[in-house]
Each structure stands twice: as structure tokens, then as C-alpha cells.
Amino acid sequence: MNHSNFPDWLFDLDNTLYPLDSGLFNQVRARIGEFMTRYCGVQTSDVLSTQRRYRDEYGSSLAGLMAENRTEPEPFLSFVHDVDYGVIEPNPRLADALAGLSRRRFIFTNGSTKHADNVLRRLGMEDLFEDVFDITRAGYVPKPNPAPYDRIVRDFGLDAKKTIFVEDMARNLAPAKALGMTTVLVVAAPDTISDEADYITTDLAGWLGAHAGAPS
């Protein structure tokens, strides 16, 4: 099915526009753990289990820390995104595919706009997106809570039924699908199965070429 006539595209950032094996998000995850032990009294041995619990109960580590430790979000975001962005390589093939989309393109991320800008600059994609809907703009309510999905539709004037959302986490696709968006899951393993995804791909640039009329 060709989606070249869809007016709007939402793209997750981390592990979606750059590959998981870059190791960038492992750096972020390690910085989250360091923040928790240094400032929130979490024992090193409990970091992983606490991160998992916060993710399952609140949607993200930040949301859990805000709820249970009264953590201020902006110092947290600055700390955890103090990482080496040099591990990301430019991706001209994907940049060309994105540039070939004739419709609006937005970033929808649980990270900060500064983090998104740093990633997009490394990828060579800093001029390809109209706007970034980040965790601050979402009122620090993370995906997959439905609230930021409703808000991004309102803020950007989207027609959900003519919007495509591209993500690397299946659970984050569910609220978008409930709104009527077409959902694309970017994965590393080709045998991945997901009820939340209308499409699953290991090659986003190739998928855009095949389904959206973009060069691949």
C-alpha cells in the first residue's frame, strides 16, 4: 500500500532514527542509573529492577522519579543526556528517504529537544523535521500514556487517520493505533511479531522507499 498521500509523519527518535547497536541509548540508560544512585538514594544493586518498575508503572524512569522522589525533570534530563553523541554515524540514505517525503515530518520523543537536536545533527537530519514534541512539551507525561498522543494531535493539527507513526517500541504504538494512526515498528530482528504494528521493518529507509514513494 502506498502512503505517499498521507499528510503527516511522526518519528520516534532513540533506536528508531539511529540503530540500537550504536550504543547511544546504553549510555543514556547508564546515566539514568548513575543519577538514581547519586541523587535519589537507589542502591546500585537495585538500579535495574527500579528502572524496570518505573517503566512498567509510570512509563519511564523520569516519571517514576518525579512521582516517588520529587525529582526535578530538567536537571535529570541534562544529566542523562550528557553522553558521547559521536557514536552515531551520519545516515545519508535515511536522510535522503526522509527528504523525499513531500509531507510534514515531526519528532515525537520521551527525551528532550536538546537531545533530539544533538542526535539529528549527527545523523545529518537537522533540517528535515518541522518540530519536536519532547517530554517537556508533553508535561513530562511519557509515551505510552495516551495524553501526549492526544496533545500532539491537537498541537500539530494532525488528522490521526492520515498520520503515520514510526517507533521502535511496540507498546508505544498502541495509543497511536487507537487514535487511527498507521503504525510502523522498527526492529533489529526480522522475525518480530506485534499486534500494535501495521508494518514491521528492519530497514526504515527501504520501507519509506517501498511504501511512501521516497528514495531508498
pTM of the model: 0.94
- Domains recognised in the chain with CATH numbers: 8-18+89-211 (3.40.50.1000), 24-80 (1.10.150)
Three cell numbers, residue 26? 546504553
Query: Among the residues of 40-110, which ranges form H helices?
Result: 47-58, 61-69, 73-80, 92-99
Write the secondary structure of 126-142 as one string of H (helix), E (strand) and C (coil): CCCCCEEECCCCCCCCC
- Which tens digit of pLDDT belongs to each residue from 33-70? 999 999 999 999 999 999 999 999 999 999 999 999 99
Nearest alpha-carbon partner for 17 in 145, 104, 139, 118: 118
Confidence band for 157, pLDDT divided at 50, 70 and 90: very high
Question: Average pLDDT, stretch 102-115?
Answer: 95
